[in-house]
Structure formats: structure tokens, C-alpha cells
């Protein structure tokens, strides 16, 4: 897939899973990519693999606004612009029934999964508006729309992030900001290993073969930045939708 030549993309949670696959996919499509994550060694390795002319690694904790703002400035300093923000950083812990959860751990999930999405939007908006537009994609989840036993923090934070994406479209769509969500379904990542180890709900019982590979949502993210996806602005695309999978040429 091409069409991203000259574009600059910033991806949070880029050290592994969907984020790492997305960084590679955007680079293959011609974009320059800024990889953000708390794990400095991992993003540095992936950026080195992509190449110094096309990728930079920026250590960043999305729960801290000043770090995200600094990352946006570093991205613009390196590439001259910011065309796409992929809000992918997220954590599943704490897993468990609400009555036994640590309130601080619960709050940390909100800080990363919800506030982290807002921090990215808030830091990217001034740059994108000055350029005349940009694309913001939030990696969502089916958990944003229905309760899953043991996932109160994850469900609540993902629901909030989905609404933030709709709010961004509502407030800034007329000014050239294209906001969308991607619900990938269950993906074969380290997060799924954590879920499986918990054994607390039906998702944890799924066979590994039922999870899609990370390069599927990565391919979807690149496609969502192109003109073919313009009609989906303000909406959430699901990779469980067979029509979307057919459009992207994804199959088992």
C-alpha cells in the first residue's frame, strides 16, 4: 500500500503489537514515522530497522501531557509537519472484579487509555489546524460498547476514548480534522496473553488461532488515512466487518 509519501505519522504505543506493525506499515507506504512508547529500547530497535531517514523513536508516557506535547514538537522538528496521529497506547490491567481492584491501578488505566488519547489530540491539534488539516485515529475496542467481566477500567476508558473521537469530529471536522476509530477485534499480541492468563471471561478462553495478526489492523490504519475512507469520518470502523475485510483484502 502506498499513498503516504511526504506524510508524517506519530504512533503511540509503538513498541509492540499493533503499534509496531503500524509503524512498519506506514513506513512501507512512504510515510515518515515517529514511534512513541515508554520502552525506549524497543522503539529504538524498530526505528533503526525502518531507517533513520524514515523513523524516529521518542520515549513518552502518554499519561503525562507535557511528554506528549514534547513528542509532537520533536516530530515536527524532525519531519516538518504532523499529518496523522494514531492513538494506540493502551493497557488492560487491572483485571478483576471491581470490589477487589486497587484504585490506583484502576486510575492508571484511565490515565493511559483515556487521558492519553486526549493528550495526543490536544497536543496535535494546534499543529494540524495550522497546516489546514490532519487525521486522528483512535484504536478502539468492542469493550468500548459493551461490558466485559473483569475489565471495568478497560471498558470505561475505551468507551470514553471512543466518545473523545466523536467529539473531535464534532468540534473540528469542519476545520479539516478527520477523526476516526478502529476496532480491531481480538489481535494476537502480548495483551491477549495477559487476558488469557487471567481466565476471568470468555475472551480469555479463546483459542489463539481465533486472534487476527497485528498486520491486519496496521493495514487498516494506513487505508483509513486515504481518500477511500473519507466517508467514515467521525465513525468507528470494525475489522469484524466482513465488508471492511474484503475491501482491505484481508482473509484467513
Q: Distance (Å, rounded) from C-alpha 206 to C-alpha 209?
A: 8
Q: Distance (Å, rounded) from C-alpha 230 to C-alpha 228?
A: 6
Q: Quick one: cell of 101?
A: 481492584
Nearest to 4 by CA among 84, 71, 94, 73: 84
Q: Distance (Å, rounded) from C-alpha 37 to C-alpha 76?
A: 17
* Catalytically active residues, by annotation: 154
Which residue matches cell numbers 495477559? Answer: 194
DSSP state of 213: P
CB 17 within 8 A of CB 39: no
**Could you give the angle at the alpha carbon of 23 between the alpha carbons of 17 and 26, nearest 5°?**
130
Mark out the alpha helices in 132-214 (DSSP H runs). 152-172, 190-198
Q: Distance (Å, rounded) from C-alpha 202 to C-alpha 50?
A: 37
Which residue matches cell numbers 470468555? Answer: 202
Q: Work out the end-to-end distance of the chain between its first and last CA atoms, rounded to an integer number of angstroms.
A: 19
Amino acid at each position: 500500500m502506498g499513498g503516504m509519501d511526504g506524510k508524517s505519522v506519530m504512533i503511540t504505543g509503538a513498541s509492540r503489537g499493533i503499534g509496531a506493525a503500524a509503524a512498519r506499515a506506514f513506513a512501507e507506504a512512504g510515510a515518515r514515522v515517529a514511534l512513541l512508547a515508554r520502552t525506549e529500547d524497543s522503539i529504538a530497535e524498530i526505528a533503526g530497522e525502518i531507517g533513520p531517514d524514515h523513523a524516529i523513536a521518542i520515549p513518552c508516557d502518554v499519561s503525562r501531557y507535557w511528554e506528549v506535547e514534547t513528542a509532537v514538537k520533536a516530530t515536527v522538528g524532525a519531519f516538518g509537519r504532523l499529518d496523522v496521529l494514531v492513538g494506540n497506547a493502551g493497557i488492560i490491567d487491572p483485571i478483576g472484579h471491581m470490589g477487589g481492584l486497587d484504585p490506583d491501578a484502576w486510575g492508571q488505566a484511565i490515565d493511559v487509555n483515556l487521558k492519553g488519547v486526549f493528550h495526543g489530540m490536544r497536543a496535535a491539534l494546534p499543529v494540524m489546524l495550522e497546516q489546514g488539516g490532519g487525521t486522528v485515529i483512535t484504536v478502539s475496542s468492542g469493550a468500548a460498547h459493551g461490558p466485559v467481566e473483569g475489565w471495568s477500567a478497560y471498558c470505561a476508558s475505551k468507551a470514553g476514548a471512543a466518545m473523545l473521537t466523536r467529539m473531535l469530529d464534532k468540534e473540528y471536522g469542519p476545520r479539516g480534522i478527520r477523526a476516526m476509530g478502529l476496532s480491531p477485534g481480538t489481535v494476537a499480541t502480548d495483551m491477549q496473553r495477559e487476558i488469557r492468563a487471567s481466565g476471568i471471561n470468555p475472551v480469555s478462553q479463546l483459542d489463539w488461532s481465533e486472534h487476527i495478526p497485528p498486520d491486519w489492523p496496521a493495514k487498516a490504519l494506513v487505508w483509513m488515512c486515504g481518500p477511500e475512507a473519507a466517508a467514515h469520518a467521525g465513525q468507528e470502523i470494525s475489522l469484524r466487518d466482513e465488508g471492511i475485510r474484503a475491501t482491505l483484502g484481508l482473509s484467513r
